[in-house]
């Protein structure tokens, strides 16, 4: 196995204002499957093409936003390595015992990065149904529903101190910068980062408020599914922020839309495969609109203002 260390973005716990309205939205529109509930009332969900026990957790709260983003790593031994390196970097480390608050998930190394986001890393997670079959596998074991979200994909995080968060992800966690966007003075204000082979697993953008979520994304199978997703969203009166569209950065085809609590979601497909020998692709300030929204070539009013 050539990929070691952090394997992929794999989980998010999201705050929602009304739990049952959100469960209905995330199962019937987004197409996730409910796999369980915790004793404190959180709801565990997953995409139809994931082995992992769950990739999404809904927690009822007074404000929308994210509690933490989770990453799957290659081995339990790497967690110890990561905990030590994170402390050396100067960030706090909490070891969360297995099954403490996430059923089916092994022990986690948890930290809070300079942008204010909690990031958790885990090596072990049980499987749950539905999941892909492995013997003479069909293309799905249960028919996708709603927009057909297949797998957890990535998130865009907004916060102050983004350069230090990016430095932590690259120097400690082994992420590579895939693309970046520049301010007029040449300083970086957004960086797309990959830990393995995706065009990106996480992106970080400089922002004055800490711990903000711009969007979290699930992957669909193809561009036709993106069109189908737009139909489903319209029939369900979902608020669409942008798209169907393509990002210039990472070349992902996508739709931005909002959940009933105001959390921005993305459904995406395609994009290129990343390899660590690739040079960083750069968007200068005059072309960043094209980097985000390739067809309109300009940012919409919401992009830099609406976060949760």
How near is the Cβ of 217 to Fe ion at its closest, in Å? Answer: 5
Q: Which residue from 49, 52, 225, 266 is in contact with Fe ion, where contact means CB under 5 A? A: 266
Encoding tokens for residue 106?
A: 């092994």
The one catalytic residue among 53, 117, 214, 247: 247
**CA–CA separation, 139 and 153 (whole Å):** 19
Question: Which of 70/103 has CB closer to Fe ion?
Answer: 70
Tell which positions 216-245 bind Fe ion, by CB under 5 A.
217
Name every residue whose Cβ is closer than 8 Å to that of residue 277 and which is 6 or more positions away in sequence. none
How near is the Cβ of 72 to Fe ion at its closest, in Å? Answer: 19
Query: Residue count at the site for Fe ion (CB under 5 A)?
Result: 2
The one catalytic residue among 78, 154, 179, 206: 154
How near is the Cβ of 266 to Fe ion at its closest, in Å? Answer: 5
User: Has 200 been annotated as catalytic?
Assistant: yes
The one catalytic residue among 200, 206, 214, 218: 200
Name every residue whose Cβ is closer than 8 Å to that of residue 304 and which is 6 or more positions away in sequence. none
Residue 64 near residue 15, CB atoms below 8 Å: yes
User: Has 256 been annotated as catalytic?
Assistant: yes
How near is the Cβ of 75 to Fe ion at its closest, in Å? Answer: 28
Question: Which of 49/266 has CB closer to Fe ion?
Answer: 266
Name every residue whose Cβ is closer than 8 Å to that of residue 266 and which is 6 or more positions away in sequence. 153, 215, 216, 217, 218, 254, 255, 256, 257
How near is the Cβ of 256 to Fe ion at its closest, in Å? Answer: 8
Question: Which of 172/249 has CB closer to Fe ion?
Answer: 249
**CA–CA separation, 169 and 183 (whole Å):** 21
Residue 201 touches Fe ion, criterion: CB under 5 A = no
For β-strands 176-182 and 281-283, DSSP reports them as: parallel
Phi, psi of 85 (to 5 degrees): -65, -35
User: Has 154 been annotated as catalytic?
Assistant: yes
User: Has 266 been annotated as catalytic?
Assistant: yes
Of 302, 241, 237, whose CA–CA distance to 266 is shortest?
Answer: 241
Residues found near Fe ion in the complex (CB under 5 A): 217, 266
Active site residues: 154, 200, 215, 247, 256, 266
């Amino acid at each position: 196995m050539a990929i070691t260390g952090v394997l992929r973005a794999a989980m998010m716990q999201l705050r929602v204002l009304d739990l049952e309205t959100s469960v209905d939205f995330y199962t019937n529109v987004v197409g996730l499957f409910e796999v369980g509930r915790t004793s404190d009332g959180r709801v565990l969900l997953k995409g139809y093409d994931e082995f992992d026990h769950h990739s999404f957790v809904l927690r009822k709260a007074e404000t929308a936003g994210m509690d933490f983003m989770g990453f799957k790593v290659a081995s339990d031994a790497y967690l110890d390595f990561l905990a030590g390196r994170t402390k050396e970097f100067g960030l706090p480390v909490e070891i969360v015992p297995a099954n403490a608050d996430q059923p089916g998930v092994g022990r986690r190394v948890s930290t809070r990065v300079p942008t204010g986001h909690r990031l958790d890393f885990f090596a072990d997670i049980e499987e749950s149904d539905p999941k892909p079959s492995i013997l003479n596998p069909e293309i799905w074991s249960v028919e996708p529903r709603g927009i057909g979200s297949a797998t957890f994909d990535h998130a865009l995080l907004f916060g102050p101190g983004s350069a230090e968060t990016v430095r932590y992800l690259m120097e400690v966690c082994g992420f590579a910068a895939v693309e970046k966007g520049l301010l007029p003075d040449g300083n970086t204000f957004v960086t797309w980062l990959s830990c393995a082979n995706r065009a990106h697993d996480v992106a970080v953008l400089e922002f004055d408020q800490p711990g903000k979520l711009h969007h979290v994304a699930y992957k669909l199978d193809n561009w036709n599914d993106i069109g189908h997703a737009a139909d489903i969203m319209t029939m369900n009166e979902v608020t669409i922020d942008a798209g169907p569209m393509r990002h210039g950065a990472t070349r992902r085809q996508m739709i931005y839309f909002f959940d009933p609590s105001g959390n921005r979601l993305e459904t995406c497909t395609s994009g290129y495969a990343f390899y660590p020998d690739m040079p960083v692709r750069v968007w200068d300030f005059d072309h960043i609109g094209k980097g985000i929204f390739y067809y309109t070539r300009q940012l919409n009013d919401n992009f830099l203002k609406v976060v949760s």
